[in-house]
Amino acid sequence: MNIISISDPGVRMIESGGGRTVFRATMALLVAAAAAVMVEPTIGQAQVIAVDGDGTVVLPPETDSKHFDAGQLERRGLAGLREILDELLPDTAAPPVLQVPVSQVNDLIAQLGDDQFRVRQTAMERLRDIGEGARPLLLRAAKSDNAEVSWRAVRILRAWDARKYADKPQHLEAFAAYCRLLRDDSRLKELLRRTAQAMEHGLWGETRQQILVHSTAALLRADKEEYAAPLRPFLDRGDLQIALLILEAASDAVQSADAASFDRSQAMNLLVRAIGSPREEVAAVAINHAGYLIERSRGSNSPLRKALQDAFEGPSESVRFQAACVLMQRCKSEAARDFVLGQLQGGDLSRKYAALNMLQSQPPRKAEPDRKLLDALQPLLNDADMNTKLMAVNVLSSYAGPEVVRRLLPLLGEKKERHIAMHAAQQLRQQPDKKMLRSEIKAVLEDQSRKNLHSELQSFLKQLGEEPDGAAEPEASAVR
């Protein structure tokens, strides 16, 4: 960016980050110091302004001074809804109407090519302020043979677009509160029309996505087929992010439903449909939402429970795994648990990690493990993959009892991966029954076939507060 000084009758460079540049009188100028409009320089008085590296500058930025209040919007009825949607979803707004005569706009366009800089700049700013109603005329001007007129027309169009499509997170809170007040069909129909239109246009920016989540949730909270049906096609086609935001909105709407309508609401129907979607990404996210809702669902015959069971019995391995995790964790399904345990022996490393994470989060904590779990974890304690081994130790350590101790003690003798030995020692110290722990250690010390562990076990036992009777002085150990 170049900092230049304007004085009558010419332009003088005073500093440039990109080298000295010759500026023509045709360039657009941006007043520095955050001035909203350009101040006419007095003859002989210098004025500092900022210019892009190529000698071009956009118009002075417009400030967004709008403020929305949910209560005020509610009192204004349909007009209030349209006003906030025009601001937040401007691509769905009705075409703007030109508020000044066409001849006035054409005169200002002609002045964009005037010989006098002040005339050109003033015309540019006035056209910008006239607004989107003049867009067709500016689009035509952008194709003008006059390079100055074309260049300035393009700058005005860009300024409008920058304002129109700017991220506006400052209005999200008011919009979310307002959406929860919508009950009447006239506003809900308008909201549906414009929400669907915005979804067709696509997403840009985090704020737009959240706007559509709030508007979609409002439509689903109305719990009417006419507002839910137009949303369903978006689950099966088009932008995946649109489908996922619909699921987020459906989950929000379901959580706000009362007990009587929970299982049969339109939002629940949409989630159930998504669980069976042929798009695996959609099904996986729907299953994840179901995990937070299943406990409120009524019994094993609820539509949500049935959809999860159907997904678990379906052809897609990844979807089956997602459903199994929910059914195991939330519904205590033994079949689902067996499936998750089976993933520990599979070749998919990411799914093996996910299964171990899920098993570690399973209650009860510090109960004795069953044989199925012990048999599934045993090979992993000797796995070549370090992460797999550590995660298996964590799962096993969430349980208690002699079977757990007997499988962890050999890890204290790890020579190459000492961090595994140290981690196993740390987990063993957390066993609640210290008497049983010492007894198991002594049993190994008495086993002459396992002398390779004796030094480490003697050191560990000493740290527990009891040195074995008649034991020799232990060698230096890395297990601390």
Distance (Å, whole) CA 53 – CA 154: 18
Answer with the residue of higher pLDDT: 448 or 48.
448
pLDDT the model gives residue 65: 60
Does the CA dihedral 414-416-422-427 come out positive or negative? negative
pLDDT the model gives residue 264: 86
* Residue 151, pLDDT above cutoff 80: yes
In a domain, 275, yes or no: no
Q: Are residues 476 and 407 in the same domain?
A: yes
pLDDT the model gives residue 33: 30
pLDDT tens track for 192-231: 999 999 999 999 888 999 999 999 999 999 999 999 999 9
* Residue 357, pLDDT above cutoff 90: yes
Answer with the residue of higher pLDDT: 15 or 296.
296
Answer with the residue of higher pLDDT: 192 or 364.
192
In a domain, 198, yes or no: no
Amino acid at 281: E
In a domain, 233, yes or no: no
* Residue 306, pLDDT above cutoff 70: yes
* H or E, element range at 14: strand 10-16
Residue 217 in contact with residue 252, Cβ under 8 Å? yes
40: DSSP letter? P
Alpha helix (H) ranges present in 65-134?
A: 70-75, 78-88, 102-111, 117-130
pLDDT tens track for 109-137: 999 999 999 999 999 999 999 988 999 99
Q: What are phi and psi of 314, to 5 degrees?
A: -80, 180
pLDDT the model gives residue 360: 87
Please say which residue of 168, 196, 219 terminates a domain. 168
Peptide bond into 402 cis (omega under 30): no
Distance (Å, whole) CA 370 – CA 375: 9
* H or E, element range at 456: helix 454-463
Amino acid at 290: A
* Residue 161, pLDDT above cutoff 60: yes
pLDDT the model gives residue 169: 93
In a domain, 463, yes or no: yes
Amino acid at 96: P
pLDDT the model gives residue 86: 94
* Residue 5, pLDDT above cutoff 50: no
Please say which residue of 168, 189, 223 terminates a domain. 168
Answer with the residue of higher pLDDT: 346 or 106.
106
Which among 303, 300, 261 is positioned nearest to 286, based on CA atoms?
A: 303
Structural domain that includes position 139? 98-168
Q: Are residues 479 and 417 in the same domain?
A: yes
Residue 49 — very low, low, confident or very high, per pLDDT cuts 50/70/90?
very low
The percentage of the chain sitting over the pLDDT mark of 90, rounded to a whole number, equals 63
In a domain, 61, yes or no: no
Q: Are residues 479 and 408 in the same domain?
A: yes
Q: How many domains does the chain have?
A: 3
Q: What are phi and psi of 339, to 5 degrees?
A: -65, -45
Q: What does the mean pLDDT of the chain come to?
A: 83
Distance (Å, whole) CA 442 – CA 446: 6
pLDDT tens track for 381-407: 999 899 999 999 999 999 999 999 999
Residue 259 — very low, low, confident or very high, per pLDDT cuts 50/70/90?
confident
pLDDT the model gives residue 387: 93
The two structure tokens encoding residue 478? 């890395």
pLDDT the model gives residue 242: 96
- Residue whose structure tokens are 């860009």: 158
Distance (Å, whole) CA 438 – CA 422: 18
Q: What CATH number does the domain containing 134 carry?
A: 1.25.10
In a domain, 158, yes or no: yes
In a domain, 339, yes or no: no
In a domain, 213, yes or no: no
* Residue 31, pLDDT above cutoff 60: no
Which among 479, 459, 476, 477 is positioned nearest to 468, based on CA atoms?
A: 459
Please say which residue of 131, 151, 168 terminates a domain. 168
Residue 227 in contact with residue 188, Cβ under 8 Å? yes
Which among 47, 38, 80, 54 is positioned nearest to 175, based on CA atoms?
A: 80
What DSSP letter does each residue of 337-369 carry, written as one string?
HHHHHHGGGSS-HHHHHHHHHHHHTPSPTTSPP
The SS3 assignment for 183 reads coil
Q: Which of 18-32, 328-342, 420-434 has the lowest mean pLDDT?
A: 18-32
What DSSP letter does each residue of 242-270 carry, written as one string?
HHHHHHHHHHHHHHTS-TTTTTTSHHHHH
pTM beyond cutoff 0.85: no
Residue 85 in contact with residue 189, Cβ under 8 Å? no
Q: Which of 26-35, 231-240, 425-434 has the lowest mean pLDDT?
A: 26-35
The two structure tokens encoding residue 161? 């677009």
Q: Are residues 45 and 104 in the same domain?
A: no
Answer with the residue of higher pLDDT: 85 or 472.
85
